[in-house]
Amino acid sequence: AGHRDVRLNPTAGSGSFGRSWGRKRGADAVLGSVQLAPDVAEAVRRRGPVVALESTIISHGMPYPDNLSMAREVEAIVRANGATPATIAIVDGVPRVGLTDDQLARLAKLGPSALKVSRRDVASCIARGATGATTVSATMLLAHRAGVEIFVTGGVGGVHRDGQNTMDVSADLTELGKTPVCVVCAGAKSVLDIPRTLEYLETQGACVLGYGVDEFPAFFTRKSGCAAPGRVDTAREAAAVVKAGRRLGLGGTVLAVPIPAEHEADGATSERAIERALAEAKEAGISGNASTPFLLKRIRELTGGKSLESNVALVKNNARVGARVAVELAGLDA
Ligand code: PSU
Ligand code: MN
Protein backbone atom coordinates (compact mmCIF):
# COMPACT_ATOMS: atom_id res chain seq x y z
CA ALA A 1 0.00 0.00 0.00
CA GLY A 2 1.07 3.59 -0.51
CA HIS A 3 3.15 2.73 -3.53
CA ARG A 4 2.40 4.61 -6.70
CA ASP A 5 2.97 1.66 -9.03
CA VAL A 6 1.18 -1.12 -7.20
CA ARG A 7 -1.90 -1.37 -9.35
CA LEU A 8 -0.60 0.38 -12.41
CA ASN A 9 2.17 -1.96 -13.38
CA PRO A 10 1.67 -5.63 -12.62
CA THR A 11 5.32 -6.42 -13.42
CA ALA A 12 6.69 -3.97 -10.87
CA GLY A 13 8.66 -5.86 -8.25
CA SER A 14 7.10 -9.15 -9.40
CA GLY A 15 4.36 -8.71 -6.86
CA SER A 16 6.65 -7.77 -4.01
CA PHE A 17 4.93 -4.43 -3.49
CA GLY A 18 1.99 -6.16 -1.87
CA ARG A 19 4.22 -7.36 0.96
CA SER A 20 5.25 -5.03 3.73
CA TRP A 21 8.68 -3.53 3.55
CA GLY A 22 11.28 -5.40 5.53
CA ARG A 23 12.87 -2.46 7.27
CA LYS A 24 14.18 -1.34 10.58
CA ARG A 25 14.56 2.39 11.13
CA GLY A 26 17.92 3.58 9.82
CA ALA A 27 18.57 0.27 8.07
CA ASP A 28 18.27 -0.54 4.39
CA ALA A 29 14.77 -1.23 3.16
CA VAL A 30 14.20 -4.36 1.13
CA LEU A 31 11.76 -4.24 -1.75
CA GLY A 32 11.63 -7.54 -3.58
CA SER A 33 15.30 -8.42 -3.83
CA VAL A 34 16.39 -4.80 -4.17
CA GLN A 35 18.00 -2.96 -1.24
CA LEU A 36 17.04 0.68 -0.86
CA ALA A 37 19.25 3.06 1.12
CA PRO A 38 17.32 4.48 4.11
CA ASP A 39 16.91 7.99 2.69
CA VAL A 40 15.80 6.61 -0.69
CA ALA A 41 13.28 4.27 0.95
CA GLU A 42 11.89 7.15 2.99
CA ALA A 43 11.58 9.38 -0.09
CA VAL A 44 9.87 6.64 -2.14
CA ARG A 45 7.51 5.87 0.72
CA ARG A 46 6.37 9.48 1.04
CA ARG A 47 6.25 9.77 -2.80
CA GLY A 48 8.89 12.48 -2.72
CA PRO A 49 11.26 13.32 -5.58
CA VAL A 50 13.97 10.71 -6.21
CA VAL A 51 16.53 10.62 -9.02
CA ALA A 52 18.23 7.36 -10.00
CA LEU A 53 21.83 7.52 -11.23
CA GLU A 54 23.70 4.81 -13.10
CA SER A 55 27.11 3.39 -12.28
CA THR A 56 28.64 2.20 -15.57
CA ILE A 57 29.36 5.84 -16.32
CA ILE A 58 31.46 5.79 -13.11
CA SER A 59 33.32 2.50 -13.61
CA HIS A 60 33.62 2.28 -17.39
CA GLY A 61 32.85 5.79 -18.60
CA MET A 62 35.46 7.92 -16.82
CA PRO A 63 38.89 7.44 -15.24
CA TYR A 64 39.57 7.51 -11.50
CA PRO A 65 39.48 9.90 -9.65
CA ASP A 66 37.46 12.13 -12.02
CA ASN A 67 34.72 9.49 -11.95
CA LEU A 68 34.40 9.70 -8.17
CA SER A 69 34.29 13.49 -8.03
CA MET A 70 31.71 13.45 -10.85
CA ALA A 71 29.55 10.91 -8.99
CA ARG A 72 29.70 12.92 -5.75
CA GLU A 73 29.02 16.24 -7.47
CA VAL A 74 26.05 14.83 -9.37
CA GLU A 75 24.51 13.52 -6.14
CA ALA A 76 25.07 16.95 -4.54
CA ILE A 77 23.39 18.72 -7.49
CA VAL A 78 20.37 16.43 -7.24
CA ARG A 79 20.11 17.21 -3.51
CA ALA A 80 20.57 20.95 -4.06
CA ASN A 81 17.66 20.85 -6.49
CA GLY A 82 15.32 19.24 -4.00
CA ALA A 83 15.47 15.52 -4.82
CA THR A 84 17.06 12.43 -3.24
CA PRO A 85 19.83 10.86 -5.34
CA ALA A 86 19.93 7.07 -5.69
CA THR A 87 23.00 5.69 -7.43
CA ILE A 88 22.33 2.14 -8.54
CA ALA A 89 24.76 -0.80 -8.71
CA ILE A 90 25.12 -4.44 -7.70
CA VAL A 91 27.46 -4.63 -4.71
CA ASP A 92 28.71 -8.10 -3.72
CA GLY A 93 25.67 -9.64 -5.38
CA VAL A 94 23.15 -7.23 -3.83
CA PRO A 95 21.25 -4.88 -6.16
CA ARG A 96 21.33 -1.53 -4.40
CA VAL A 97 19.32 1.64 -5.00
CA GLY A 98 21.26 4.35 -3.17
CA LEU A 99 24.92 3.74 -2.33
CA THR A 100 27.01 4.81 0.64
CA ASP A 101 30.01 7.01 -0.11
CA ASP A 102 32.26 3.99 0.58
CA GLN A 103 30.39 1.93 -2.01
CA LEU A 104 30.60 4.79 -4.50
CA ALA A 105 34.36 5.09 -3.92
CA ARG A 106 34.82 1.36 -4.28
CA LEU A 107 33.10 1.28 -7.66
CA ALA A 108 35.06 4.30 -8.83
CA LYS A 109 38.35 2.62 -7.87
CA LEU A 110 37.37 -0.73 -9.37
CA GLY A 111 36.80 1.01 -12.69
CA PRO A 112 36.56 -1.39 -15.63
CA SER A 113 37.40 -4.34 -13.38
CA ALA A 114 33.85 -4.10 -12.07
CA LEU A 115 31.41 -6.04 -14.26
CA LYS A 116 29.49 -3.98 -16.80
CA VAL A 117 25.94 -5.12 -16.14
CA SER A 118 23.16 -4.65 -18.66
CA ARG A 119 19.75 -6.35 -18.32
CA ARG A 120 21.10 -9.70 -19.54
CA ASP A 121 23.86 -9.73 -16.85
CA VAL A 122 21.79 -8.83 -13.77
CA ALA A 123 20.80 -12.31 -12.59
CA SER A 124 24.25 -13.87 -13.04
CA CYS A 125 25.97 -10.96 -11.29
CA ILE A 126 23.64 -11.41 -8.30
CA ALA A 127 23.98 -15.20 -8.24
CA ARG A 128 27.78 -15.00 -8.32
CA GLY A 129 27.86 -12.44 -5.55
CA ALA A 130 29.81 -10.17 -7.87
CA THR A 131 30.10 -6.40 -7.97
CA GLY A 132 28.75 -4.82 -11.12
CA ALA A 133 28.11 -1.35 -12.44
CA THR A 134 24.72 -1.03 -14.10
CA THR A 135 24.20 0.41 -17.58
CA VAL A 136 21.14 2.40 -18.53
CA SER A 137 19.09 -0.75 -19.17
CA ALA A 138 19.89 -2.44 -15.84
CA THR A 139 19.61 0.85 -13.93
CA MET A 140 16.15 1.51 -15.40
CA LEU A 141 15.04 -1.96 -14.43
CA LEU A 142 16.26 -1.70 -10.83
CA ALA A 143 14.99 1.88 -10.47
CA HIS A 144 11.56 0.70 -11.56
CA ARG A 145 11.61 -2.19 -9.08
CA ALA A 146 12.34 0.37 -6.37
CA GLY A 147 9.56 2.73 -7.50
CA VAL A 148 11.87 5.42 -8.94
CA GLU A 149 10.69 7.03 -12.17
CA ILE A 150 13.33 9.64 -13.02
CA PHE A 151 16.89 8.68 -13.93
CA VAL A 152 19.84 10.85 -14.90
CA THR A 153 22.82 9.78 -17.01
CA GLY A 154 25.16 11.13 -19.68
CA GLY A 155 23.94 9.53 -22.87
CA VAL A 156 21.75 6.57 -23.79
CA GLY A 157 23.19 3.68 -25.74
CA GLY A 158 21.95 3.21 -29.28
CA VAL A 159 22.34 1.49 -32.60
CA HIS A 160 26.08 1.36 -33.28
CA ARG A 161 27.36 2.49 -36.67
CA ASP A 162 27.05 -0.52 -38.99
CA GLY A 163 24.61 -1.92 -36.43
CA GLN A 164 22.32 -3.04 -39.25
CA ASN A 165 25.00 -5.67 -39.96
CA THR A 166 26.55 -6.34 -36.53
CA MET A 167 23.17 -6.10 -34.74
CA ASP A 168 24.96 -4.18 -31.99
CA VAL A 169 21.92 -2.37 -30.69
CA SER A 170 22.13 -1.30 -27.04
CA ALA A 171 19.81 -3.05 -24.61
CA ASP A 172 19.01 0.48 -23.42
CA LEU A 173 16.67 0.85 -26.39
CA THR A 174 14.55 -2.24 -25.74
CA GLU A 175 14.46 -1.34 -22.04
CA LEU A 176 13.09 2.07 -23.00
CA GLY A 177 10.34 0.27 -24.87
CA LYS A 178 9.04 -1.52 -21.81
CA THR A 179 10.18 0.00 -18.52
CA PRO A 180 8.41 3.17 -17.37
CA VAL A 181 11.42 5.26 -16.37
CA CYS A 182 12.32 8.68 -17.77
CA VAL A 183 16.00 8.81 -18.79
CA VAL A 184 17.36 12.34 -18.67
CA CYS A 185 20.41 12.42 -20.95
CA ALA A 186 22.25 14.54 -23.51
CA GLY A 187 20.93 12.42 -26.37
CA ALA A 188 22.97 9.64 -27.93
CA LYS A 189 26.70 9.80 -28.60
CA SER A 190 27.67 10.59 -32.15
CA VAL A 191 29.83 7.44 -32.10
CA LEU A 192 26.42 5.85 -32.75
CA ASP A 193 24.12 5.83 -35.73
CA ILE A 194 21.69 8.44 -34.48
CA PRO A 195 19.05 8.21 -37.27
CA ARG A 196 18.77 4.44 -36.78
CA THR A 197 18.75 4.89 -32.99
CA LEU A 198 15.72 7.17 -33.31
CA GLU A 199 14.01 4.76 -35.70
CA TYR A 200 14.56 1.91 -33.27
CA LEU A 201 13.21 3.93 -30.35
CA GLU A 202 10.07 4.61 -32.36
CA THR A 203 9.69 0.89 -33.11
CA GLN A 204 10.00 0.20 -29.39
CA GLY A 205 7.39 2.83 -28.62
CA ALA A 206 9.69 4.92 -26.44
CA CYS A 207 8.72 8.56 -26.01
CA VAL A 208 11.61 10.83 -27.09
CA LEU A 209 11.54 14.51 -26.17
CA GLY A 210 13.95 17.36 -26.82
CA TYR A 211 14.22 19.60 -23.78
CA GLY A 212 13.80 23.15 -25.06
CA VAL A 213 15.07 22.13 -28.51
CA ASP A 214 13.65 20.81 -31.78
CA GLU A 215 16.77 18.85 -32.67
CA PHE A 216 17.87 15.64 -30.96
CA PRO A 217 21.25 16.35 -29.29
CA ALA A 218 24.38 14.26 -29.93
CA PHE A 219 26.02 14.17 -26.48
CA PHE A 220 29.23 16.20 -27.05
CA THR A 221 27.37 18.53 -29.38
CA ARG A 222 23.93 20.17 -29.27
CA LYS A 223 22.93 19.07 -32.74
CA SER A 224 22.71 15.72 -34.53
CA GLY A 225 21.00 16.73 -37.74
CA CYS A 226 17.95 14.71 -36.63
CA ALA A 227 14.70 16.20 -35.41
CA ALA A 228 13.63 15.22 -31.90
CA PRO A 229 10.30 13.37 -32.19
CA GLY A 230 8.76 15.53 -29.48
CA ARG A 231 9.57 18.59 -27.42
CA VAL A 232 8.92 19.98 -23.95
CA ASP A 233 10.13 23.31 -22.64
CA THR A 234 9.81 22.97 -18.89
CA ALA A 235 10.35 20.41 -16.16
CA ARG A 236 6.64 20.49 -15.44
CA GLU A 237 5.77 19.61 -19.03
CA ALA A 238 8.22 16.72 -18.90
CA ALA A 239 6.68 15.50 -15.62
CA ALA A 240 3.20 15.68 -17.17
CA VAL A 241 4.35 13.37 -20.00
CA VAL A 242 5.82 10.91 -17.49
CA LYS A 243 2.60 10.92 -15.50
CA ALA A 244 0.41 10.45 -18.58
CA GLY A 245 2.56 7.50 -19.70
CA ARG A 246 2.40 5.93 -16.25
CA ARG A 247 -1.39 6.13 -16.16
CA LEU A 248 -1.61 4.26 -19.46
CA GLY A 249 1.04 1.69 -18.53
CA LEU A 250 3.37 2.79 -21.34
CA GLY A 251 7.15 2.29 -21.46
CA GLY A 252 10.08 4.65 -21.01
CA THR A 253 10.88 8.21 -21.97
CA VAL A 254 14.08 9.81 -23.23
CA LEU A 255 14.34 13.43 -22.12
CA ALA A 256 17.15 14.73 -24.31
CA VAL A 257 18.85 17.79 -22.84
CA PRO A 258 21.52 19.40 -25.04
CA ILE A 259 24.94 20.01 -23.51
CA PRO A 260 25.24 23.67 -22.37
CA ALA A 261 26.73 25.69 -25.25
CA GLU A 262 29.76 26.81 -23.23
CA HIS A 263 30.82 23.18 -22.74
CA GLU A 264 30.03 22.00 -26.23
CA ALA A 265 32.86 20.30 -28.11
CA ASP A 266 34.02 21.73 -31.41
CA GLY A 267 32.05 19.68 -33.94
CA ALA A 268 34.90 19.06 -36.38
CA THR A 269 37.48 18.21 -33.69
CA SER A 270 35.19 15.76 -31.92
CA GLU A 271 34.11 14.18 -35.22
CA ARG A 272 37.78 13.62 -36.16
CA ALA A 273 38.46 11.97 -32.79
CA ILE A 274 35.32 9.84 -33.12
CA GLU A 275 36.21 8.69 -36.65
CA ARG A 276 39.71 7.74 -35.56
CA ALA A 277 38.51 5.92 -32.41
CA LEU A 278 35.97 3.99 -34.50
CA ALA A 279 38.65 2.98 -37.00
CA GLU A 280 40.94 1.83 -34.19
CA ALA A 281 38.15 -0.18 -32.57
CA LYS A 282 37.50 -1.93 -35.87
CA GLU A 283 41.21 -2.59 -36.38
CA ALA A 284 41.56 -4.02 -32.85
CA GLY A 285 38.42 -6.15 -33.23
CA ILE A 286 36.68 -4.48 -30.27
CA SER A 287 33.02 -5.51 -30.18
CA GLY A 288 30.07 -6.15 -27.90
CA ASN A 289 29.93 -4.39 -24.56
CA ALA A 290 33.61 -3.41 -24.79
CA SER A 291 32.87 -0.96 -27.63
CA THR A 292 31.45 2.00 -25.76
CA PRO A 293 34.12 2.03 -22.98
CA PHE A 294 36.89 1.71 -25.61
CA LEU A 295 35.51 4.55 -27.73
CA LEU A 296 35.02 6.90 -24.77
CA LYS A 297 38.56 6.26 -23.57
CA ARG A 298 40.14 6.80 -26.98
CA ILE A 299 38.12 9.95 -27.65
CA ARG A 300 39.27 11.28 -24.28
CA GLU A 301 42.90 10.59 -25.17
CA LEU A 302 42.58 12.00 -28.68
CA THR A 303 40.97 15.23 -27.46
CA GLY A 304 43.52 15.70 -24.69
CA GLY A 305 40.86 15.32 -22.00
CA LYS A 306 38.43 17.81 -23.54
CA SER A 307 35.76 15.17 -24.11
CA LEU A 308 35.89 14.26 -20.41
CA GLU A 309 35.27 17.89 -19.43
CA SER A 310 32.26 17.99 -21.77
CA ASN A 311 31.01 14.67 -20.41
CA VAL A 312 31.18 15.85 -16.78
CA ALA A 313 29.51 19.16 -17.65
CA LEU A 314 26.61 17.54 -19.48
CA VAL A 315 25.93 15.03 -16.71
CA LYS A 316 25.82 17.80 -14.13
CA ASN A 317 23.42 19.76 -16.32
CA ASN A 318 21.24 16.67 -16.72
CA ALA A 319 21.24 16.24 -12.93
CA ARG A 320 19.83 19.74 -12.48
CA VAL A 321 17.09 19.11 -15.04
CA GLY A 322 16.32 15.59 -13.76
CA ALA A 323 15.96 16.75 -10.16
CA ARG A 324 13.54 19.49 -11.25
CA VAL A 325 11.47 16.99 -13.24
CA ALA A 326 11.35 14.70 -10.19
CA VAL A 327 10.21 17.61 -8.00
CA GLU A 328 7.49 18.56 -10.51
CA LEU A 329 6.35 14.95 -10.78
CA ALA A 330 6.04 14.67 -7.01
CA GLY A 331 4.05 17.91 -7.11
CA LEU A 332 1.65 16.54 -9.74
CA ASP A 333 1.15 13.39 -7.64
CA ALA A 334 0.56 15.22 -4.36
N1 PSU B 1 26.78 7.89 -20.58
C2 PSU B 1 28.04 8.34 -20.35
N3 PSU B 1 29.03 7.41 -20.20
C4 PSU B 1 28.79 6.06 -20.25
C5 PSU B 1 27.46 5.59 -20.49
C6 PSU B 1 26.49 6.56 -20.66
O7 PSU B 1 28.28 9.55 -20.28
O8 PSU B 1 29.71 5.26 -20.07
C9 PSU B 1 27.17 4.09 -20.52
C10 PSU B 1 25.75 3.80 -20.06
O11 PSU B 1 25.82 2.89 -18.98
C12 PSU B 1 25.08 3.14 -21.26
C13 PSU B 1 26.24 2.44 -21.85
O14 PSU B 1 24.02 2.31 -20.90
O15 PSU B 1 27.25 3.46 -21.80
C16 PSU B 1 25.95 1.94 -23.24
O17 PSU B 1 26.70 0.78 -23.45
P18 PSU B 1 26.38 -0.17 -24.70
O19 PSU B 1 26.69 0.66 -25.90
O20 PSU B 1 27.34 -1.34 -24.53
O21 PSU B 1 24.95 -0.57 -24.61
MN1 MN C 1 26.21 -3.26 -27.56
At 250-293, the pLDDT tens digits run 999 999 999 999 999 888 889 999 999 999 999 999 999 999 99
Interface pTM (ipTM) of the complex? 0.97
Residue with CA at minimum distance from ligand 1 atom 21 = 170
The residue from 75, 116, 149, 189 that is catalytic is 189
Evaluate: CB of 61 within 6 angstroms of ligand 1. yes
Q: What is the mean pLDDT of each run of 10 residues along the chain (334 residues)?
A: 33 41 67 92 97 98 98 98 98 98 98 98 97 98 98 98 96 98 96 97 98 97 97 98 98 98 90 95 95 96 95 98 98 95
At 97-137, the pLDDT tens digits run 999 999 999 999 999 999 999 999 999 999 999 999 999 99
Evaluate: CB of 56 within 6 angstroms of ligand 1. yes
- Asked if residue 85 lies in contact with residue 106, where contact means CB atoms within 8 angstroms, the answer is no
- Asked if residue 281 lies in contact with residue 290, where contact means CB atoms within 8 angstroms, the answer is no
Is 202 one of the catalytic residues? no
Dist CA 43 CA 39 (whole Å): 6
This prediction's pTM = 0.93
Evaluate: CB of 60 within 6 angstroms of ligand 1. yes
**75 exposure class (CB count in 10 Å sphere: 0-12, 13-18, 19+):** buried
Is 54 one of the catalytic residues? yes
Measured from the Cα of 116, ligand 1's closest atom is 11
Cα 157 to Cα 52, 255, 303, 305, distances in angstroms: 17, 14, 21, 21
